[in-house]
Structure 1
Amino acid sequence: MATLIITTVIGGRRERHRWARDALTDAFVAFLEASWRHSDKAAQAASAGADAEQLLAEYREMRSQLTRMRLLATDGVVDAGQSLLRQQRQVHDVPAGPDRDAALAAASSARRGVIAAAKKEMGLL
Structure 2
Amino acid sequence: MGVGEWAAFTAAFISGANIVVTALLTRSRDRTSWSRAALSDTLVTLLEASWRSSDAARERHELGPRPADPAMATRLQDTVETTFADLRTSLTRLRLFASERVGTAGVDLLISHRELRDASLPDLPARLEAVSAARRKLIQAARRDLKTD
Q: TM-score, normalised by structure 1?
A: 0.94
1:78-124, Cα deviation, whole Å (9 max, x unpaired): 11111010001111111222x01110011111111011001111112
Superposed structure 1 runs of 4+ greater than 6 Å apart: none
Match of 1:8 in 2: 23
Supply the distance in 2 between the matched residues of 1:114 and 1:91 (Cα, whole angstroms): 17
SS at structure 2 position matched to 1:8 = helix
Letter aligned with residue 78 of structure 1? G
Distance in 2, matches of 1:66 and 1:104, equals: 19
- Give a deviation string over 1:33-84, Cα, whole Å, max 9, x none: 1100000011111215243322111111111111111111111101111101
Structure 2 length-normalised TM: 0.79
Unpaired stretches in structure 1, ≥5 consecutive residues: none
Partner of 1:119: 143
Which residues of 2 match residues 75-114 of structure 1 at below 5 A? Answer: 75-97=100-122, 99-114=123-138
Which moves more between the two structures, 36-45 or 47-56? 47-56
**What is the aligned residue count?**
124
Which structure 2 residue ranges, 5 or more long, are not aligned? 1-15, 64-71
Which residue is equivalent to 2:46? 31
Sequence identity (%): 35
CA distance in 1, matches of 2:46, 2:74: 22
Structure ID, larger Rg = 2
